[in-house]
Structure 1
């Protein structure tokens, strides 16, 4: 049975101080990686100049304490003893010197390799050399490994699991365990059948601290394989992949929508700020991949916003989930460890506009006034019944922290969309019955997951999602004595009836039906609001 969100928050807050010491990365990593800005054009001076700029402009003090090398740092051949050979034209003083220097400034250095026969850039891969490479990376002073997944011998999901599992065992056994960034899911993310993607996403949290789940955020040559793409398109694409996966995130493991590409040439300042705000609301890793010494004062100001970083680094590390979506607006919420509630509103439209959200949609049950802090301006106001964000620019994002004026916000109900993470259709209530439809942002597509494990449409919270027999699902008057109204949300993404043990399904004709539970089937994997307990079956 699912815990209430309030009880879950209290339990999580109580255990966090005890468990955080055993977790390699208690909050999402922050820092720098060279790939998006420089790709194979990396060298020693880039990392030295970047490190000093991060110190001088407050990024290190704000928490961006990792500096990671990406692909192409080696020569094209291994040494006779099997070790990778550092390219001394790019790194004339060697990598041990560089890691020591970065550590002297206060940074944690990280390095890249590939799980396959060759890296994505054509350099030696680590397949068959895992122990040698891990030993070398540790001896050179690295504390973080990004493992890419190009050029695997067969490319099957089972092979990725075996190889990444081997790396997990090796890195965990080092005298000083190394943080592990896994790129395996990205190689299954856009398949015609997402079963393997879901399968990879189930095991990566057990092996590492973060996993890049889909394609790269835009790099400067991406238009060669993705024509007519803009930086904003890239941000929204990876965000769209991320919101399918909230059930996997937990303290110590973070879904990774890839780098902050905040100096990409076609991003406006509002889009850059949105990029940072959205990633922060998701509690995603904040790894900047850009030429940091070239940043403006305004760039450093928003990237070091203490209130927004605090949301990203919140101890619960909940990933914000979608309350509603339509053509122009995405609304997301999550709870924070002190009981506050985060509200994020993304303006995807072409003009500046305001947007209002009811307390019910935010998951609040209080009829009292609530303090609303705009995390961009730092200014607060008091609201009752509704929260309004004014003058959100085109492609801008409002990020608001809601707290109690007196005592606490009270009971919070996980509230938001229920959607199929394959077809992206949304569970919709109507007078004609239940359907799977495109997101339009109406109350009939916003669902409450209550303490008693019932699921109810915001449009009429007296009605409950009900398995009514013979494969049918409908809305009926909520009745504790009536079977078929209690549900478990499984780690696999299945929404399972406690009564029949069958699962909610989107049929081939987009009908809402019940069928025998299938493992990671495209028609049975759903995203639910943040705060719903996920049950491992």
Structure 2
């Protein structure tokens, strides 16, 4: 990702114009439409435009007989190329009768009769990515058509969207996806809305962040980065998965019940993946509470593939009602360590070995926000089922590209947790570091205690941030500088916003890309002010106070 060099400051009077109140019908305002992330099948990564009725009926039957539907995979989603190249005389969409001889309504009925839901694809532009009719100018008509066919899920892509005169491209996307939001919200039974707008801005940190800010208010999930590598694509499938994984780690603050960050499909039959990499892919997506949408030829999956895709313990994590996304605790070039809380109070530990060889690491329980002394915890490996006792630290050994997931049960007397992990500048990936002389710098992540921060709630959305290397000092703003000072002072309290800004209650926003951090006037498009914090941190309402 590259940061935009164009920034501007917003006077306080203009803040409400930049961040208007959004419609109350939004998914995060009423999360019952999709209370947990979707699970199912989509044809795109495996088959692209080679979809047809038989593929979907065969897939449904295989998901039934192999137990996938019974563990939660209950969605069948058509992707691009399902339709004819022309609309009907009344302007309505038409399915390709060669590919779907019985028709889409028949397929929706078939899905329902077998315990599935049917979803469909369209595009916010004049054409889909495959050159079929887009929805622009037909939003209400197309939504009503889909509902009449028995569809309850819409994936809306963003190919062939061009800015109308007087609007920026990101404003155009907001208007078009906003129109769909309004149309769907007004329906007696709204369709689940999967948005693709952020993926078209993923190469610009500022634009991407501004688009992401409104995405959770308009739909239930959003594909935020590039497509995962298709079955016949050139390149490394593992690198493609890691690319989307990395994007997802930047978006922790957006996810909550009713809205889910979507790093794209699971691809368990891709010939470029080892079995270890396939299992890692699933374990990481489950830890994120990301959508679990399989794009593979399910009848030909091995029994081993079906077994890891059916892991009930990992699916329970994925479907946990708290819907937190696992956030980075630390990274050092070999190990990524992530954590989150679960609805019953358990703590999740996910560890990925990104290195090329088998390696060991030790993770202190303090890094997971478990700082009470003389406490023992039961840690269950959700892949192997093995249970161990953890006291002080957990030791992990992993093969190259392997992932382990532990669910840590907290005894009643040791049940307190504090959101703990990296505070990192998401456009650059640099970690906020407690450096010598009480200075605060942004450096390459090295998994040291000086780069792991505890975030303590101080009433409402006010926060104090303290490094694990010295919990007596807190991040402090004073006269445009940022440093470490004794906790409890007036400059110690901060608020984190959906925009990624970390604003000090004295005024100004944390700013830093490399070297020493600073506190500067908050700027909407300043990529140097976009930060990720641990899971479980309460966000402030609205937007930061902007200073001219």
TM-score normalised to the size of structure 2? 0.90
SS at match of 1:454: strand
Supply the distance in 2 between the matched residues of 1:22 and 1:373 (Cα, whole angstroms): 30
1:313 aligns with 2:319: yes
Supply the distance in 1 between the matched residues of 2:67 and 2:182 (Cα, whole angstroms): 36
Check 1:20–1:159 CA distance in 2 against 1; reply closer, same or farther (3 A cut). closer
2:335 and 2:354 in contact (8 A); partners too = yes
2:194 is aligned to 181
Unaligned runs of 5+ in 2: 1-27, 543-548
2:68 is aligned to 59
**Deviant stretches of 4+, over 4 Å:** 19-22
What's the CA shift for 1:486?
A: 1.0
1:463 aligns with 2:473: yes
1:289 is aligned to 295
2:484 is aligned to 475
What's the CA shift for 1:418?
A: 0.7
Alpha-carbon displacement from aligned partner over 1:209-249 (angstroms, at most 9, x marks no partner): 000011111113543xxxxx311101111011011111111
5 Å-filtered alignment, 1:56-95, equals 56-95=65-104
2:5 is aligned to none
SS at match of 1:473: strand
Backbone CA RMSD of aligned residues: 1.5
What's the CA shift for 1:483?
A: 2.0
Supply the distance in 2 between the matched residues of 1:174 and 1:393 (Cα, whole angstroms): 50
1:29 and 1:287 in contact (8 A); partners too = yes
1:421 aligns with 2:426: yes
1:372 and 1:383 in contact (8 A); partners too = yes
1:112 aligns with 2:121: yes
1:20 and 1:26 in contact (8 A); partners too = no
5 Å-filtered alignment, 1:237-256, equals 237-256=243-262
2:110 to 87, 101, 104: 101
What's the CA shift for 1:21?
A: 7.9
What's the CA shift for 1:457?
A: 0.9
5 Å-filtered alignment, 1:162-181, equals 162-181=175-194
1:340 and 1:409 in contact (8 A); partners too = no
1:37 aligns with 2:37: no
2:241 is aligned to 235
What's the CA shift for 1:520?
A: 4.0
2:46 and 2:297 in contact (8 A); partners too = yes
Supply the distance in 1 between the matched residues of 2:436 and 2:144 (Cα, whole angstroms): 64
What's the CA shift for 1:131?
A: 1.5
Supply the distance in 1 between the matched residues of 2:435 and 2:417 (Cα, whole angstroms): 25
Supply the distance in 2 between the matched residues of 1:167 and 1:434 (Cα, whole angstroms): 44
TM-score normalised to the size of structure 1? 0.92
1:210 aligns with 2:221: yes
2:495 and 2:502 in contact (8 A); partners too = yes
* More RCO (CA 8 Å, sep 6+): 2
1:381 aligns with 2:394: no
What's the CA shift for 1:407?
A: 2.3
Check 1:20–1:108 CA distance in 2 against 1; reply closer, same or farther (3 A cut). farther
Supply the distance in 2 between the matched residues of 1:510 and 1:84 (Cα, whole angstroms): 55
2:400 to 394, 398, 403: 394
2:330 is aligned to 324
1:158 aligns with 2:180: no
Unaligned runs of 5+ in 1: 1-18, 224-228
